[in-house]
Structure 1
Amino acid sequence: MPSHVIQRQATPAELEFLANLLRSSATTARRWKEGIENALVLWATSLLCVVVIWLAAAWVVRKVVNVECGLSSPAGVWMVAVAIPLCGIFAAVSSVRWVRGWKDYRPLLRADLEEALVQEEHYVFTEAKRFQEPEHGGLIYFLRTPEDQVFALFDHESQDLGVHEQDPLTSRFRPMSALVMVRALKTGFVVGKSFAGAPLEAGDPVTLDVDPQHWPESECYCDIPWAALESRLGPAAAETRTSKSAPYDGA
């Protein structure tokens, strides 16, 4: 939990931020339009994969038993006739699930705008560490509280710098000992944050050596103890996974 929380009226800038989010949120029609586009791409891609696999198998059969079963053969024509509707069904079902799983935040955003209330979360930190993801060099900061909890924050500017082939370490993001973070009440979206107090030295970044699905969420506490950050997220984590997956030699 934050050191303390204050509920107050949202400022005009905070309301404008939420209004912009609402305006940019996908409507139902737009979501289904993107779902149809996704289905068409998936249909074509899956059908292409089936054709490539069939052609590779046909080449092997022709070389081994001298039997022609390419796309122009009766078997190939039958395969295409079956694959087209099956791939279409697969693409349609996958896209419908994708659209239905797309969370619609518009009602909650409207409620936040109507209530015009936010909560200020005040945090105090004593130490900082940072990790760097290997693909673009984006930085993730971990901040330690006096209660020994760990708060995670993504440095989005460093990620943008890396994407544009600039040095992520030149990011202006600098953690300090006090953080005020403002959240909308209904959506929980962060509409503003600011550091104050003494700068926290984060040291050289540690390579983030876990898959993105195992990264902690930003702007909230993570469940990894401070002392275990490097062993759970750094190169030591990869070494542990490798040792666990290594075959037993019986020695």
Structure 2
Amino acid sequence: MKASEPLKSRTLSEQEKNHLTQALSSLPVPRKRYLKAALNTSVFWVFSLAIFCIVWFISSLLIAAFTEFDIGISSDYAKHIFPIIILIAGFFAINSTKKWLATSENDYALVKADLKAQQVVLDTYQVIESKCFKEPEHGGLLYFLLLKAPHNETTKVRAIYDYESQKKDPDIKSLLSITHQITICTAPQSKLVVSNQFSGQAMGKISYFALTTEPENWPQPNSWVNSDWHTLQQKFEI
């Protein structure tokens, strides 16, 4: 069995460092993250309490309609039922917040660690084909690249947005120039892609289509797309 190749890395460039710094400034600091968690708990607690009270009210009406048993808010049982409802709603709210804290990574700390380490991981792929979808309203370009890793025959589809093309007066020199090789530069802790570097010969032919599907169906920037290469047109040009 062939051993996997060691990851290649280098020092962050000034532009990549600025990219991470900008990303860090847009993220909530850990203290604000916990404040948000506390706020979410309070809101969900009140919401859950309201739902349980509505269920209680409807249940009391149904029980009163078919029996002589009264568990309504004015009944003797209310002083026992209401505290139980408060506790149950609180349990759901706190449990929901704990799950959110466990599943949502502290991106601020990860990006900060990347800035401190000053390193970027390099993944180089051969670009087999490229398809470009143009957003009709603003003219922004979305590229899909069919990539193949060295010493591996498996191909994968990568989505890359050309942000310069979205500007009102784009700089022609700053637009993406797709070539036969791409190096994806990723910050190792946060997994943020800080740059895509193209090298080698320019792609001879790129297919162009209209990006007419709804924005919520667009792929995430710098992401792997779980779609067949030959079905991209029917998926994004509707």
- Fold match by TM threshold 0.5: yes
Counterparts of residues 33-182 of structure 1 (less than 5 Å):
33-65=35-67, 68-119=70-121, 124=127, 126-128=129-131, 142-145=144-147, 148-153=155-160, 177-178=178-179, 181-182=184-185
Counterparts of residues 181-196 of structure 1 (less than 5 Å):
181-193=184-196
> What does the per-residue CA deviation read over 1:146-169, in whole Å, with 9 as the maximum and x for residues that have no partner?
7753112468899xxxxxxxxx9x
**Secondary structure of 1:118's aligned partner:** strand
In the alignment, is the contact (CA less than 8 A) between 1:58 and 1:69 conserved in 2? Answer: yes
**Secondary structure of 2:39's aligned partner:** helix
Give the AA of the match of 2:51.
C
Cα distance, 1:181 vs. partner? 4.3
> What does the per-residue CA deviation read over 1:22-62, in whole Å, with 9 as the maximum and x for residues that have no partner?
45544443322222111111110100011112222333344
The answer for unaligned runs of 5 or more in structure 1 is 133-137, 159-167, 236-251
Percent identity between the aligned chains?
23
Give the AA of the match of 1:19.
T
Higher percent of residues as helix: 1
Taking the aligned partners of 2:97 and 2:189, their CA distance within structure 1 comes to 28
Give the AA of the match of 1:204.
A
**Secondary structure of 2:210's aligned partner:** coil
Determine whether 1:31 maps to 2:33.
yes
Taking the aligned partners of 1:17 and 1:175, their CA distance within structure 2 comes to 17
RMSD: 4.5
In the alignment, is the contact (CA less than 8 A) between 1:151 and 1:222 conserved in 2? Answer: yes
More divergent stretch after superposition (174-183 vs 17-26):
174-183
In the alignment, is the contact (CA less than 8 A) between 2:114 and 2:188 conserved in 1? Answer: yes
Taking the aligned partners of 2:186 and 2:83, their CA distance within structure 1 comes to 54
**Residues 131/44 of structure 1: CA separation in 2 closer, same or farther (3 Å cut):** farther
In the alignment, is the contact (CA less than 8 A) between 2:132 and 2:141 conserved in 1? Answer: no
Using structure 1 for the length normalisation, give the TM-score: 0.61
The answer for unaligned runs of 5 or more in structure 2 is 1-6
In the alignment, is the contact (CA less than 8 A) between 2:134 and 2:208 conserved in 1? Answer: no
Give the AA of the match of 2:11.
Q
Give the AA of the match of 1:47.
L
Taking the aligned partners of 1:57 and 1:140, their CA distance within structure 2 comes to 54
More divergent stretch after superposition (5-14 vs 86-95):
5-14
**Residues 175/126 of structure 1: CA separation in 2 closer, same or farther (3 Å cut):** farther
Using structure 2 for the length normalisation, give the TM-score: 0.63
**Residues 91/111 of structure 1: CA separation in 2 closer, same or farther (3 Å cut):** closer
Taking the aligned partners of 1:108 and 1:152, their CA distance within structure 2 comes to 24
Residue aligning to 2:4: none
Give the one of 202, 209, 212 matched to 1:203. 209
Taking the aligned partners of 2:110 and 2:57, their CA distance within structure 1 comes to 51
**Secondary structure of 1:188's aligned partner:** coil
> What does the per-residue CA deviation read over 1:188-240, in whole Å, with 9 as the maximum and x for residues that have no partner?
311234779568444133647xx97xx86642433433135578x679xxxxx
Taking the aligned partners of 1:59 and 1:22, their CA distance within structure 2 comes to 54
